[in-house]
Amino acid sequence: MKNTRSFLAAIGAAFVLTLAAFAGDPTGTWKWTVEGRNGPREATAKLELRDGALSGSVSGRNGDTAIGDATFKDDAIAFTVKREFNGNSFVIKYDGKLDGDNITGTIERPNRDGGTTKVDWKATRAK
């Protein structure tokens, strides 16, 4: 009986480790197109998952901005980017699902009317 329990525990541990090996990893450079006032432009995020913590930056007109409130679990990714424009700061929220070399989700950002606008987000990992 003791050998059976030990054997089952070993199989369970191997199964958990196998699942972890197949979990996605968002580490890399991601590119997508953003619709701007002057037409579409390419945006870039550089993400790194280390010891379960997600960090990185997103490009913008004034350079790269660090991401905040970042989470990654079960291939679901979420983070925020705090920007400033004309002395006003605002937060853009990114949510998505990692599937191989694609992240598909939404970006929520403030609009001119004081509300928020959600747009579809599809980023592709640069190779």
Dump pLDDT digits (tens) for 18-63: 344 456 999 999 999 988 778 888 999 999 999 999 999 999 877 8
Please report, for the domain that includes residue 87, its CATH number.
Answer: 2.40.128.30
Q: How many domains does the chain have?
A: 1
Give the HSE-up count for residue 67: Cα atoms under 13 Å, Cβ half-sphere: 24
Mean pLDDT of the chain: 85
Long-range contact set of residues 91-100: C-beta below 8 Å, sequence gap at least 24: 94/58, 94/67, 94/121, 96/121, 96/123, 98/24, 98/26, 98/72, 99/24, 99/75, 100/24
Would you say residue 67 lies in a domain?
A: yes
Q: What SS3 class is residue 75?
A: coil
Task: Give me the domain span that covers residue 29.
Answer: 25-125
7 lies in some domain: no
pTM: 0.79
C-alpha distance from residue 113 to each of 10, 56, 88 (Å): 58, 30, 14
Which has the higher per-residue pLDDT, 40 or 78?
78
56 within domain boundaries: yes
Higher pLDDT, 72 or 37: 72
Q: What residue type is 90 in one-letter code?
A: F
Domain membership of residue 12 (yes or no) is no
Closest listed residue to residue 82, CA positions, set 72, 90, 93, 71: 90
In a domain, 80, yes or no: yes
Residue 114 lies in a domain: yes
Residue 92 covered by a domain: yes
Mean pLDDT along residues 93-98: 98
Return all residues near 79 (Cβ < 8 A) that are at least 6 apart. 54, 56, 67, 68, 69, 70, 71, 93, 94
Asked, for residue 5, whether it belongs to a domain, the answer is no
